[in-house]
Amino acid sequence: MSCTNLQHKAERASFSPLPSTTNESMSDTKSLITRNIWESFVKVEITLDIPHMVHETYYGTLHRNSYLPLQFSKLYEYFKYCLDETHLSNFDQWWIEHDLIPLKWHLPIGLIYDICLPQRTGTWHLSLRVDKFPADSIIPYQNLEHGTEIWTKAVENIWLNQIKESCFVQCGSAKPIMSLSKEDSTAFWEAVTAHNLDGYKAIEKKITPSLSNIRNIPLKLYIQQANDVIDIEEDIEVIQAPVSPFQSSGASQTMFSALASVIPELFPRHDPPRYTFAVPSIHAAIIPEDAILAELYSVGSYLDGFLHILIEGEKTIDRREEGGEIN
C-alpha cells in the first residue's frame, strides 16, 4: 500500500524511526506517519552579526511544520542582552537570511529548508537580520500590532488565508472554515502556535469533507531549476491546478497520474508508471509513483492545508546522490 511505501521512504530520509508496524492497522500506521511528520524538525545555527556590536550564534531546532516568525520570540530572548533599543523596538525589521537570500517567512519552515538545502540533511546555517527589511522580496509584517505580537499576528493572517484557500479548493467554498465557532477558530490557531497535533487535527477534521465530497486536493508544486544556488524567487516555478482525488476512469488519483496530467512535459505517461525526467518529494522524502493522492494529503499536508511538493529535475537528483560530499 502506498502509505507503507511513504513510510519506508520517510525512514530513509532520516525521519525518526517508526516502531514495527507488522501488527498495526492501517489507520495506526497513518497516524504514526502524521505524528512523525508533525514532530520532525531541522537543526539550525542562527547567527546575529552586527559589526562592532555583536557576533553571537543560536544553536537549536525548528519544527518543519511551523513558521519562522513564530520562532522569533525565542531568538529575541536569546539575543536581547546584546541588542540596543532600536533593534529591540523595531520588530517589523526582523528577518532571516540564508546564503544572502531573504527567506520567505510565509512558507512552512520544512518547505524552505528543502528548497535551500537540496541534499535535505545537515545543519541549516542562517543569519538573523534586525534592520533593512527587504520588503521587495518578502512580505512585510503589515499590521498595527506593537511589540513581539507583530510576528504572530502576521503569521496568523497568512496561515488563516491559506487554510481558507485550501478549504475552498477542497469544498468549492470557504464556508466550513468561515462557519467555525469562535472557540474552534481560536483553538485551531492556538494549536498552530503551541505546535499541538491533537488540537490541530480536532479542528481540521471539522473542515475537511469526506473523500467522496472532495472536489480537488490542495496542491502546490514547486518546480526547481537545477542551479547551484537556489533563489526561491528566481529558480522556482510554482504550479497549482485542480486535481481531483479520482481520475476520469474512476480510479484513485495517484502521485504519478496527477503529475502526468498537470506537467506532462516532465512526467510523460509510462506503463507501469515511472518517473523519468523529474521526481517529486515532500518532507524530504521521495513520493512513490503509486501513492494515492488523497491518502498522501491526509497524512502529509502541511499545517496550512496544502501538499507542498518539490519537483526536482535530473541534474538535481544526480547531485543529491553525491550530496554527502558537497559540504
Partner 1 sequence: KITIRFQAIGGAPPILVKVFKISRNQKFSVLNKFLHKRVYSNRGNRSSPEPEGRKQLFLYLHNSFAPNGDEVLGNLFSLFKVGDELIVSYCLNVAFG
Q: Are 299 and 34 in contact (CB under 8 A)?
A: yes
Work out which of 169, 192, 214, 303 binds partner 1, going by CB under 8 A: 169
Contact call for residue 40 and partner 1 (CB under 8 A): no
Contact call for residue 1 and partner 1 (CB under 8 A): no
Work out which of 5, 73, 148, 240 binds partner 1, going by CB under 8 A: 240
Contact call for residue 224 and partner 1 (CB under 8 A): no
CB of 304 to partner 1, least distance (A): 10
Q: Which stretch binds partner 1 (CB under 8 A): 49-57, 92-100, 166-174, 293-301?
A: 166-174
Closest to 222 measured CA to CA, from 114, 82, 102: 114
> Roughly what angle, to the nearest 10 degrees, separates helices 26-39 and 2-12?
30
Residue whose C-alpha cell is 501513492: 291
DSSP per-residue string spanning 245-288: SB-TTSSBPBHHHHHHHH-TTTS---SS----SEEEEETTEEPP
- Tell me the pairing of strands 307-313 and 219-224: parallel
Work out which of 26, 82, 241, 326 binds partner 1, going by CB under 8 A: 241
Contact call for residue 153 and partner 1 (CB under 8 A): no
Q: Which residues in 100-119 contact partner 1 (CB under 8 A)?
A: 104, 106
Q: Which residues in 74-103 contact partner 1 (CB under 8 A)?
A: none
Q: Which stretch binds partner 1 (CB under 8 A): 82-90, 155-163, 279-287, 317-325?
A: 155-163
Which DSSP letter does residue 295 get?
H
Contact call for residue 18 and partner 1 (CB under 8 A): no
Contact call for residue 239 and partner 1 (CB under 8 A): yes
CB of 276 to partner 1, least distance (A): 24
Q: Are 262 and 270 in contact (CB under 8 A)?
A: no
Whichever of 288 and 305 has its CB closer to partner 1, that residue is 305
Q: Which residues in 242-261 contact partner 1 (CB under 8 A)?
A: 242
Q: State the amino acid at position 111 in one-letter form.
A: L
C-alpha grid cell, residue 191: 494549536
Burial annotation 38-54 (CB, 10 A radius, 16+ → b, else e): bebbbebebebebeeeb
Task: Note the residues at the interface with partner 1 (CB under 8 A).
Answer: 104, 106, 139, 142, 158, 160-162, 164-165, 168-169, 173-174, 178, 216, 238-242
